[in-house]
Structure 1
Amino acid sequence: MIEAHLPIWLIVVPMMTAPICVLLGSRRAAYVMALLATGATFANAVWMMQKVMQTGTIRYDIGGWEPPYGIEYVVDSLSAFVILFVSAIGLLTLIYAPPSVKKEIPESKHYLFYATFMLCMTGLLGMCVTGDLFNVFVFLEISSLSSYALISLGRTRRAPLAALQYLILGSVGATFILIGIGLLYQMTGTLNMADIAARIDTVHGPRTMVVALAFLTIGLYIKMAVYPLHTWLPNAYTYAPSVVTVFVAATATKVSVYAFLRLIYGIITPEFAFDMLPLDLALRILALVGIFAASLAAIFQDNVKRLLAYSSVAQIGYMLLGISMNSSTGLTAGIVHMFNHAIIKGGLFMVVGCFAYRIGSVQLSDWKGAGRTMPWTAFAWAVGGLGLIGVPLTAGFVSKWLLLTAAMESELWPVAVLMLFSSLLAVIYVWRVLETLYFQEPTGAAKKAVEAPLRMLVPTYLLAGATILFGVWTTYSAGLAANAASMLLGGTP
């Protein structure tokens, strides 16, 4: 009986934990509740992934009302994959959190942090599991509103300002998405995504379809931080508490990419978006411009959080590049890069949090020689940096190799060449940090620093280890991504 209701428990458990954390009003009690709820959610995600692999798509009708009259939750090979890594990152972030939270968030707000964290996770998981388009918007706003609150918890006065900037641009994106949903509802009279896809006429339909697609695409571009609609992201990642940056950077933009995949392949159809309209060309151009512009910006940053923030904008470009190719290999590359970037960037931001905890700064100029006083933390940066570059035997290599293969299969030779050059830019900004850590004399706080607490190093090394593991053992991550790509292109779930 319980097993049949696990899709709804995926949302209910973190959602109900949030108000309980507030009612408890205690830092320790709130942390224990959040950790237990996140652990249960991750176990649930693992079970659903196994179930989907064995029996196919899981469907759950809320209140017993069948779609399109009721809201349906759908867990297929794509959503199960995203749910799995979002819940895993959430669990590791909470294990890592206490020292960082104590250092960077006022003690009076600790229980509010855990409550808001659970709401953010609720929104992200809800976007992945719901089969109702309006519910996608609702859960998107739950995750966004809680992200604004989490970012504003930073100790500096710039944190609330960064949250406000994110709120303004996020609200613009949400408005565009809501208008697009309204137009689709006007044309079809339903909000169930499968039902919209069945009713919509992508060949002889009205021009309203193009307008709806435009509104939804631009809204999701803002949420994904696609260049040049990325301006909210650098400040949000830079001034948020380190533990917030770890979770948001590893999950939020990836879930928005997931929503974009659902829009193109589950509702509008790639034939309409890529054949009748030149969306694939537009995606390709924006992706390549974003990769180079953001990577160049990253090279000149002294704030390491901002460096990684611009790097994230570039990595979103790689995901869009895979989607734009509209092929099995390209889609597989885009989907697996969502997973690989989550573990790589989550691990790197954990490293930044470790340095911030001991040195008290995220400025590269303050990290001189820290590789000698904090060797384990510095080595974790080296592993994550190699993954970000795409060195063989790391997860990042798998993504870029698949993207390169997809480009050559589609005879997009200029794209393949530009991808290779873009990796050299990543070498530059990763090496700048390594050079500072290992080849300069320790000064100031870095000279007196000691290794980060084990509680922070263990989850950091779990993600660093995953970067190597999924670069060597590609059957699981790339295999799940290939199944999801096959399902999106019309194969079996």
Structure 2
Amino acid sequence: MTLAIHYPALQVVLPLLAAPLCSLMRGRDFAWAFATLVSWLAFGIAVALLFAVRADGAISYHLGGWEPPWGIEYRVDALGSYLLAIVTLISAVSLSFARLSVAREVRQDQHALFYTMWLLCLAGMLGIAITGDAFNIFVFLEVSSLSTYALVAMGGGGDRRALTAAYQYLVLGTIGATFILIGIGLIYMMTGTLNILDMSERLPAVADTRTIRVAAGFLTIGIALKLALFPLHVWLPNAYTYAPNAVSAFIAGTSTKVSLYLLLRFSLTVFGPTFSFGKLPLNEILAVLAVAAFLIFSALAILQENVKRLLAYSSIAQVGYMVLGISFASVTGLTAGIVHLFNHALIKTGLFLCVACVAYRIGSVRITAMAGLGRQMPFTMFAFVLGGFGLIGVPLTAGFVTKWYLIMAALEAGTSLGLVAAGLVLVSSLLAVIYVWKVVESAYFRPAPAGSPPVREAPLALLVPTWALILASIYFGIDTRISVGVARDAAVALLGGIS
């Protein structure tokens, strides 16, 4: 098909051009319907690219017909196609959920702007995953970041806490983006190219220079800020807590995943595993920070009474699992980290949608307010239980797959640090049992407050997208051929050479 040749360009152009059109739609549901349709079309394109890459290898698309490195290249490889599928799926499902939720949380006159920002955020994330040009990574990063700040600020119809969270996110996000731009600029100064593959070929000749080491430092810190890797996580809890519920679900399933992709792309494709894990002690640094993240923030999640904040702290812990997999610098470890991009996106987005269902009916997301909801909202709360099983890593859930591969990678490493990490992954899972149980106990084992009005189950329009993700997290805990298969292909390519 002639159109299929241009799928890499359409993947970004479709939501990018749809965004200004969305801003012109003033009907109550027109903007939502249009944005949702665009997201599902983008998901269809991403799936087509994923299967094309699996069948024929990486796709190189030359914008304007100019050959790289002179022209801008869009490149879709195993890792990029995996991320495209994740981001578009989460966007499409979250938007399918969003209509009723956004109608209650965002002012009517801001709906067109809200969905415009959503499509711009989607376009930016997809651009990061598909571009083969380092400077364009920064451009798309800013497109997605600026629109995300606006989406967070719309929480609670102008709630000051949402505005403060968005401002904090903006300040720290800008610092992170500046560090990334400085790192890219330093590499360009030494290699004379912005094409990622060309950059990786020229970089070994200058890898021993101080400039390249400084560039690696700037990039790692900047990406860690965007990734919310401990101790650079400060923006995340408030952003997730005070954003509109649909936005919390969307960014929880996509934002940190895109940032982890950047860490993989620069550390393994641009600098290469020999430089990153040999000349630099990146794996040791990442391992320490990852273990600290999933232990500290699993423990802090136990102390939270706001379920959205509880899930936000859990997300920082889950970032730790992804980074721990990368730190092993092995195919099994990278497979664990990459597959958790997908598994965590399904689980955490599903859980945030469960909380959004509760907020829609009772107007609160506090654990105490959820007393007795197990009987009054049985479908919503059972979905939360199944999603909680995924966070814990119960067998037959997607979360179990991740922890299985992490522990295998730790044992394969054969070092004392690896054995300790394997044991601490199990400890963190036990901590997850506690914070998930807090919600379950309130919903199922505490009576509803005396005199409180009866609560109805969430509308079907909210339950269907929620259950779609929860059931998907169960399915991909049983059938891992696609999720683990693509992750392993990406891991082999990243460690074996230029992907």
TM-score range, shorter chain: over 0.9
Conservation of the 8 A alpha-carbon contact between 1:71 and 1:132: yes
Q: Could you give the per-residue CA deviations for residues 358-383 of structure 1, whole angstroms, max 9, x where no partner exists?
A: 01001111111111110000000000
Q: Please report how far the alpha carbon of residue 447 of structure 1 lies from its aligned counterpart in structure 2 after TM superposition.
A: 5.0
User: Aligned ranges for residues 401-480 of structure 1 at < 5 Å?
Assistant: 401-411=404-414, 412-443=418-449, 447-480=453-486
Conservation of the 8 A alpha-carbon contact between 1:368 and 1:446: no
Q: Could you give the per-residue CA deviations for residues 441-474 of structure 1, whole angstroms, max 9, x where no partner exists?
A: 0127975210001011001001110111011111
Q: Please report how far the alpha carbon of residue 25 of structure 1 lies from its aligned counterpart in structure 2 after TM superposition.
A: 2.8
Q: Please report how far the alpha carbon of residue 201 of structure 1 lies from its aligned counterpart in structure 2 after TM superposition.
A: 2.3
- Structure 1 distance, partners of 2:58, 2:360, is 44
**Partner residue in 2 for 1:83:** 84
Amino acid across the alignment from 1:436: S
- Structure 1 distance, partners of 2:474, 2:168, is 36
Paired residue secondary structure (1:489): helix
**Partner residue in 1 for 2:307:** 304
**Partner residue in 2 for 1:107:** 108
Paired residue secondary structure (2:201): helix
**Partner residue in 2 for 1:484:** 490
Amino acid across the alignment from 1:215: F
Match of 2:374 among 371, 375, 379: 371
**Partner residue in 1 for 2:260:** 257
Q: 1:173 to 1:446 in 2, by over 3 A?
A: farther
Q: Please report how far the alpha carbon of residue 27 of structure 1 lies from its aligned counterpart in structure 2 after TM superposition.
A: 3.3
Q: Does 1:280 align with 2:286?
A: no
Conservation of the 8 A alpha-carbon contact between 1:78 and 1:484: yes
Amino acid across the alignment from 2:199: I
Q: 1:446 to 1:132 in 2, by over 3 A?
A: farther
Structure 1 portions without partners, runs of 5+: none
Conservation of the 8 A alpha-carbon contact between 1:359 and 1:446: no
Structure 2 portions without partners, runs of 5+: none
Amino acid across the alignment from 2:353: M
Q: 1:446 to 1:109 in 2, by over 3 A?
A: farther
- Structure 1 distance, partners of 2:498, 2:489, is 8
Q: Please report how far the alpha carbon of residue 492 of structure 1 lies from its aligned counterpart in structure 2 after TM superposition.
A: 8.9
TM-align CA RMSD: 1.2
Q: Please report how far the alpha carbon of residue 36 of structure 1 lies from its aligned counterpart in structure 2 after TM superposition.
A: 1.6
Amino acid across the alignment from 2:262: A
Q: 1:398 to 1:189 in 2, by over 3 A?
A: same
Q: 1:203 to 1:16 in 2, by over 3 A?
A: closer
Paired residue secondary structure (1:249): helix
**Partner residue in 2 for 1:173:** 176
Q: 1:359 to 1:270 in 2, by over 3 A?
A: same
Paired residue secondary structure (1:376): helix
Q: Please report how far the alpha carbon of residue 489 of structure 1 lies from its aligned counterpart in structure 2 after TM superposition.
A: 1.5
- Structure 1 distance, partners of 2:452, 2:91, is 29
Match of 1:347 among 344, 347, 350: 350
- Structure 2 distance, partners of 1:400, 1:50, is 26
**Partner residue in 2 for 1:65:** 66
**Partner residue in 1 for 2:332:** 329
User: Aligned ranges for residues 177-256 of structure 1 at < 5 Å?
Assistant: 177-201=180-204, 205-256=208-259
Conservation of the 8 A alpha-carbon contact between 1:104 and 1:241: yes
- Structure 2 distance, partners of 1:24, 1:239, is 26
- Structure 2 distance, partners of 1:357, 1:55, is 46
Conservation of the 8 A alpha-carbon contact between 2:190 and 2:206: no
Q: Please report how far the alpha carbon of residue 491 of structure 1 lies from its aligned counterpart in structure 2 after TM superposition.
A: 6.3
Amino acid across the alignment from 1:247: F
Match of 1:359 among 357, 362, 371: 362
Q: 1:339 to 1:445 in 2, by over 3 A?
A: farther
Q: Please report how far the alpha carbon of residue 273 of structure 1 lies from its aligned counterpart in structure 2 after TM superposition.
A: 1.2
**Partner residue in 2 for 1:139:** 140
- Structure 2 distance, partners of 1:357, 1:227, is 32
Paired residue secondary structure (1:200): helix
Paired residue secondary structure (2:204): coil
**Partner residue in 1 for 2:153:** 152
What TM-score comes out, normalization by structure 1 length? Answer: 0.98
Q: Please report how far the alpha carbon of residue 147 of structure 1 lies from its aligned counterpart in structure 2 after TM superposition.
A: 0.4
Amino acid across the alignment from 2:106: I
Q: 1:69 to 1:203 in 2, by over 3 A?
A: closer
Conservation of the 8 A alpha-carbon contact between 2:374 and 2:444: yes
> Stretches of 4+ moved more than 6 A in 1?
none
Conservation of the 8 A alpha-carbon contact between 1:359 and 1:445: no
**Partner residue in 2 for 1:395:** 398
Match of 1:386 among 379, 383, 389: 389
Q: Which moved more, 1:202-211 or 1:136-145?
A: 202-211
Amino acid across the alignment from 2:373: A
Conservation of the 8 A alpha-carbon contact between 2:101 and 2:245: yes
Paired residue secondary structure (2:49): helix
Q: Please report how far the alpha carbon of residue 26 of structure 1 lies from its aligned counterpart in structure 2 after TM superposition.
A: 2.8
What TM-score comes out, normalization by structure 2 length? Answer: 0.97
- Structure 2 distance, partners of 1:160, 1:151, is 7
Conservation of the 8 A alpha-carbon contact between 2:121 and 2:148: yes
Amino acid across the alignment from 1:443: P
Amino acid across the alignment from 1:307: L
Q: Could you give the per-residue CA deviations for residues 206-254 of structure 1, whole angstroms, max 9, x where no partner exists?
A: 1111100000000000000001100000000000000000100000100
**Partner residue in 2 for 1:52:** 53
Q: Does 1:39 align with 2:45?
A: no
Q: Could you give the per-residue CA deviations for residues 16-68 of structure 1, whole angstroms, max 9, x where no partner exists?
A: 11100112233322122112211111110111111111111111001111111
- Structure 1 distance, partners of 2:224, 2:295, is 18
